[in-house]
A and B are shown apart, each in its own frame.
Chain A
Amino acid sequence: MNTTYVWAVVIGMGVVNFVVRFVPIAVVTRVQLPKPVKRWLSFVPVSVMAALVAGEVLRPGGAFPLPWQNPYLLAAVPTGLVFYKTRSFLGATVAGVAFFLAFRVLLG
């Protein structure tokens, strides 16, 4: 990737992340958000994560493999369980990579 592109993303990310956090605090200390907007926002994170996981896990590298031949999908299930039990992002990520390697070996 070229350097200008990466720097543009780095700086742009810094700016948009600050704006998206600061503007609401600066504004909402004065006004109330409408209830429907609050409700919509409350569902955004879970929707983003679900869409992302579906895309990354069901279609790794641009193809739809059969579920029982897809190490991404097979590894995602125990990874979710590990997080559910431990509530540790690090533990779940490390365990997930281990599951993934194991399934990749098993599937050849």
Chain B
Amino acid sequence: MPIFLGYFPVGMAFGILATTAGFGPLQAVACSAFALAGAGQFIGLSLMPAANVFGVLVATTVVNLRYVLFGATMSPFLRDTTLPTQAALAFSLTDETFAVNIADHQQGLASPSSMAGVGAIAWVGWVGGTMVGAYAASLVGDPARFGVEFAMPAMFTALLVGQIERKRHIVVAAISAAIAVPLVTVLPNKWYLIVASMAAAAIGAVVYR
């Protein structure tokens, strides 16, 4: 239930922002249904329409590189499952489902079916929210007077704070921001994001060994 409650409103925000940016409602819902990638979808959206398709997909992939780590972390207790099961769990792998499944696993409660259930709840919340947001957006009118242009920066700020678990994360975040700001004016199409984040993460990996 907390997963559903967590996803529904953010899905709604995506539906509203996507249709505001020029997606059709069906396209917004399809995007959520196929990708199920909260931050990745928002970042892709923030690059459109300036970046070409390739640029948007690279940005989404870079943001979702953390799933390589999540997948690697979950792999040891998926060794006995079949490839189709792994595919289903991979499709529904998100920050939240990962957190819940790892917590369940630590209490000995996780099984392939429990993890599939968690994934299904997340998907329904995310896609349902997008649907409501996408179809209700047209009733709302010009969203700028509600301050919607700050909704994405606000969510990214919250996501940033959520990523900070230790002092080293603050240091790496500061490095990344310091690299990003001068690059913003130099590089086209928000490539600063990819360059700054990959470089800062590399510095972090070298310093904190």
Mask: chain A, 10-35; 1 = CB below 8 Å from B; 0 = not: 11111011101111111011000100
A45 and B163 within 8 A (CB): yes
B121 within 8 A of A: no
Q: Which residue of A lies closest to B13 (CB)?
A: A93
Q: How large is the interface on B (under 10, 10 to 19, 20 to 34, 35 or more residues)?
A: 35 or more
User: B154-178: which residues lie under 8 A (CB-CB) from chain A?
Assistant: 154-164, 169, 172-177
Give the distance in Å from the alpha carbon of A104 to the alpha carbon of B147 in the complex. Answer: 9
Q: Which residue of A lies closest to B87 (CB)?
A: A22
B158 and A79 within 8 A (CB): yes
Contact of A92 with B193 at beta-carbon distance under 8 Å, contacts A48-B63, A51-B177 already known? no
> Which of A9, A40, A93: most chain B Cβ within 10 A?
A9
Q: How far is the CB of B11 from chain A (nearest CB, A)?
A: 11
B71 and A28 within 8 A (CB): yes
A21 surroundings in chain B (CB, below 8 A): 64, 67, 70-71, 90-91, 93
A104 surroundings in chain B (CB, below 8 A): 147
A47 and B173 within 8 A (CB): yes
B205 surroundings in chain A (CB, below 8 A): 36, 39-40, 42-43
Q: How large is the interface on A (under 10, 10 to 19, 20 to 34, 35 or more residues)?
A: 35 or more
B156 and A10 within 8 A (CB): no
Q: How far is the CB of B201 from chain A (nearest CB, A)?
A: 4
A33 surroundings in chain B (CB, below 8 A): 68, 72
Give the distance in Å from the alpha carbon of A9 to the alpha carbon of B46 in the complex. Answer: 13
A101 and B147 within 8 A (CB): yes
B200 surroundings in chain A (CB, below 8 A): 43, 47, 50-51
Give the distance in Å from the alpha carbon of A93 to the alpha carbon of B162 in the complex. Answer: 13
Q: Which of B30, B35, B48, B193 is the one whose CB lies under 8 Å from A51? A: B193
User: B28-73: which residues lie under 8 A (CB-CB) from chain A?
Assistant: 30-31, 34-37, 39-41, 43-44, 46, 48-49, 53, 56-57, 60-72
The contact sample of 7 A-B pairs, CB cut-off 8 A, is: A3-B24, A7-B27, A13-B31, A44-B69, A50-B172, A56-B156, A89-B158
Which chain A residues have a beta carbon within 8 Å of chain B's beta carbons? Answer: 1, 3, 5-14, 16-18, 20-26, 28-29, 33, 36, 38-60, 71-72, 75-76, 79-80, 82-84, 87, 89-90, 92-93, 95-98, 100-101, 104
Which chain B residues have a beta carbon within 8 Å of chain A's beta carbons? Answer: 6, 9-10, 13, 21-24, 27, 30-31, 34-37, 39-41, 43-44, 46, 48-49, 53, 56-57, 60-72, 74-76, 78-79, 83, 86-87, 89-91, 93, 146-164, 169, 172-177, 179-181, 184-185, 190, 192-193, 196-198, 200-202, 204-205, 208-209
